[in-house]
Amino acid sequence: MDSDKAVTLVIGGARSGKSAYAEGLIETALEAAPGPAVYLATAEAGDDEMAARIALHRSRRGARWTTVEEPLDLVGALAAHGKPGAPVLVDCLTLWLSNLMVAGRDIPVETARLIEQLRCVSGPVILVSNEVGLGIVPDNALARSFRDEAGRLNQAVAAMATRVVFVAAGLPLILKNDG
């Protein structure tokens, strides 16, 4: 996060360490310029297992973090919280995508809105997303549609991001670093 307007995409598989890596990037930035950090959570605790995942993520963050839960209006939340000197972590894009699909939203329109907001945001943003296209082709139309939309969303964000990091087994691999 060299620039105050840097956009970083951290991508990887489930339980790859991508969220912890993204949180570490923000913690490092906070050491240099102590201040608030915003955690934009797109997950909803629909069951006990998801509630436990959310609790684990919350337990890793310190008092400098403000958590904002926003399952659908990610663009509005970024507009409200993307301020200079206050890094924002979005966790995660694929849960946001799932929420949009369940709500019947127009995914290409929502993706375009997100990209435009990321171009306008005045503070650093780190977005976490799952790479879901490395496995087998799903056996049903909904899962295939989700996989395809996630791939398009990840490509769009990666294209405009200043940095893209792929995390596997807790290890980061820099795919892009224009900052």
Report how far residue 10's alpha carbon sits from residue 12's, in angstroms, rounded to the nearest whole number: 7
32 Cβ contact list (under 8 Å, min separation 6):
none
The DSSP string of 94-133 is HHHHHHHHHTT--HHHHHHHHHHHHHH-SS-EEEEEE--S
End-to-end alpha-carbon separation of the chain, Å?
8
**With contact defined as beta carbons under 8 Å apart, do 49 and 57 qualify?**
no
77, 83 in Cβ contact below 8 A?
no
User: Catalytic residues, which ones?
Assistant: 57
Class of residue 84 by CB neighbours under 10 A (exposed 0-12, middle 13-18, buried 19+) = exposed
Pseudo-torsion of CA 107, 167, 41, 152, nearest 10°? Answer: 0
